[in-house]
Structure 1
Amino acid sequence: MRLRCVVLDDYQQVAAEAADWAPVRDRVEVVSLAEHLDSEDALGRALFDADIVVTLRERVAFSGSLIARLPRLKLIVASGMRNSVIDYAAAEAHGVTVCGTASSSTPPVELTWALLLGLARGLVEESNGLRAGGPWQRTVGADLHGRRLGLLGLGKIGSRVARIGLAFGMEVSAWSQNLTRERADEVGVRLAPSTEDLLATSDFVSVHLALGDRTRGLLGAAELALLQPTAYLVNTSRAAIVDQDALLAALREGRIAGAGVDVFDIEPLPAGHPMRTAPRLLATPHLGYVTRDNYATYYGQAVEAIQAFCEGAPVRRLP
């Protein structure tokens, strides 16, 4: 009897093309779901007869109660090597193996700069105006050269964003709770003495922190109020690091020049969500890691994980 593998959240229906599934086709039936399932009941029904589930990033939470509802589940393959929404203890208790894949930091770095540049030069507004036959030139762009880029986080992604900022001729500063002067000097950036200093003195602020107890809600109304009226905020990390209501208020009231956001408190974003219509907002539907090469890695290594599991030798086990 062939095992049943369900690929979740295959929005673009590319999982079958992104990798060669031939190595497991004789043992595994692969079913891909394009629609996001946003409730445990819906997931319980869709995955009830699944032996294997492939899930992208942290889009779907595998709680203990959900895992208990899936009697045939034996393997979860999650893209990336860190996933905070899987109950690993419950998985182990129910005999479910969890494996991960590699994930490149290049795509989120590139998207960060796409958002930042799009904001600085008003690309969406200018393009829409041109196509609609509107006024020739509507905006006056914000310069990058000589301006300050403030980075919250200087890890694998933040440091690469910093180097691109330096290449643009920007002054770059960074802050995080564990950032040392030695690390800042290594990347060639200024170590900000505090979050408040970074926010108050930066023309562009970009968030590159992991979500945890210390970073959840890090940027609330008081912190956003420190930003200059001409400043831009970019968040391609996690929505919960920035208070969403406070951000919406700052955008609506014109207290910051704009924001570029790729992450949201609810994903996919509901049709009536205020983020869809907020002024001064350049928003993308969590595209940070969505590129051909990254998908080839995710699904290619998912195939490897399934094959290894079937052969009794799981690879890249999590946590």
Structure 2
Amino acid sequence: AEQTVAEGAFALLLALTRRLPAITKAVQAESWIWPESRWLGRDIADATLGLVGCGRIGRAMARMAQGFRARVLAFDPGANAAELAALGIEVVKDLHALLAASDFVSLHAVLNKETRHLIGAPELAVMKPGAILINTARGALIDEGALVEAVLSGHLGGIGLDVYEREPLSRSGHPLSPLFGRDNVILFPHLTFFTAEAMRRLEEDTLARCFEVLEGRPVTVRSLDPRLRAQKVGVRFI
């Protein structure tokens, strides 16, 4: 469901750049919105999107951003730099350099002991004032306490999250509860994968993999992860 998740991530980005949650709330309260600074949106065209992790989902996100005429950067030590360059994605070898150069940052990295809290207080501090952060990958990629501080201080312009270190969310005792109700925060319940088309593909792929096992054929795996691709027996990577 890489295209589906990427579309969900891009939807979060669009909603935040155009202040859709705040404006919708105001209009539904029988208000009218006049062109005031608090409602001022931002263009994606000519802005810079930084991708932290650039596998299948990150690359799908890059294609969408390029369609909006955005510059796309990527930090992914495990990716093939030549492949990314051929896709028009600029490879940045230093995470802090990518964060400092990006107007918007979207996380698409795998979670492991090296990437847990990959985005902490030092990383948030080097992001541009007013930058927007999107995470549809794994909640524990972000230090949520540091994230709350970055939002409440006004350093970040907005965040869109679909994943959390502790799920489900709760109004009591959850590290992110201070962000509930804020106009520049979108909290999605781990559902960016959940579309009719993605569920149909999931069913079809599951059945196809079962038949591969039953018939003794190599199992098809959709992954660019080099750790998985190190396996040579009984699998076929696409």
| TM-score, normalising length: structure 2 | 0.81
Partner residue of 2:133 out of 233, 239, 243: 233
Task: Look up the match of 2:14.
Answer: 117
Q: Structure 1, residues 6-56: CA drift from partner, whole Å, max 9, x if none?
A: xxxxxxxxxxxxxxxxxxxxxxxxxxxxxxxxxxxxxxxxxxxxxxxxxxx
Asked if 2 retains the 8 angstrom alpha-carbon contact of 1:262 and 1:286, the reply is yes
- Shift, 1:134, TM fit: 2.4
Q: d(CA) in 2 for partners of 1:304 and 1:149?
A: 36
Partner residue of 1:150 out of 50, 64, 83: 50
Amino acid at match of 1:190: E
1:275 aligns with 2:172: no
Task: Look up the match of 1:95.
Answer: none
Asked if 2 retains the 8 angstrom alpha-carbon contact of 1:148 and 1:201, the reply is yes
Call closer, same or farther: CA 1:296–1:194 in 2, change over 3 Å: same
Count of residues paired in the alignment:
215
Task: Look up the match of 1:133.
Answer: 30
More helix by share: 2
Task: Look up the match of 1:166.
Answer: 66
Task: Look up the match of 1:296.
Answer: 200
Task: Look up the match of 1:191.
Answer: 91
Give the 5 Å matches for 1:32-47.
none
Q: d(CA) in 1 for partners of 2:97 and 2:25?
A: 36
SS in 1 for 2:160: strand
- Shift, 1:317, TM fit: 10
Q: Structure 1, residues 203-235: CA drift from partner, whole Å, max 9, x if none?
A: 000001111122111111001100111210000
Q: d(CA) in 2 for partners of 1:274 and 1:290?
A: 25
Task: Look up the match of 2:232.
Answer: none
SS in 2 for 1:223: helix
- Shift, 1:150, TM fit: 0.5
1:204 aligns with 2:119: no
SS in 2 for 1:294: helix
Asked if 1 retains the 8 angstrom alpha-carbon contact of 2:4 and 2:193, the reply is yes
SS in 2 for 1:260: strand
SS in 2 for 1:225: helix
Call closer, same or farther: CA 1:185–1:276 in 2, change over 3 Å: same
Call closer, same or farther: CA 1:163–1:308 in 2, change over 3 Å: closer
Amino acid at match of 1:265: E
Taking only the aligned residue pairs, the percentage that are identical comes to: 32
Give the 5 Å matches for 1:3-82.
none
Q: d(CA) in 1 for partners of 2:4 and 2:195?
A: 7
- Shift, 1:202, TM fit: 0.4
- Shift, 1:281, TM fit: 1.2
The alignment's C-alpha RMSD in Å is 2.6
Structure 2: state its 5+ residue gaps: 222-227, 229-238
Q: d(CA) in 1 for partners of 2:135 and 2:88?
A: 22
SS in 1 for 2:9: helix
Task: Look up the match of 1:260.
Answer: 160
| TM-score, normalising length: structure 1 | 0.61
Asked if 2 retains the 8 angstrom alpha-carbon contact of 1:305 and 1:314, the reply is no
Asked if 2 retains the 8 angstrom alpha-carbon contact of 1:219 and 1:242, the reply is yes
Q: d(CA) in 1 for partners of 2:110 and 2:165?
A: 15
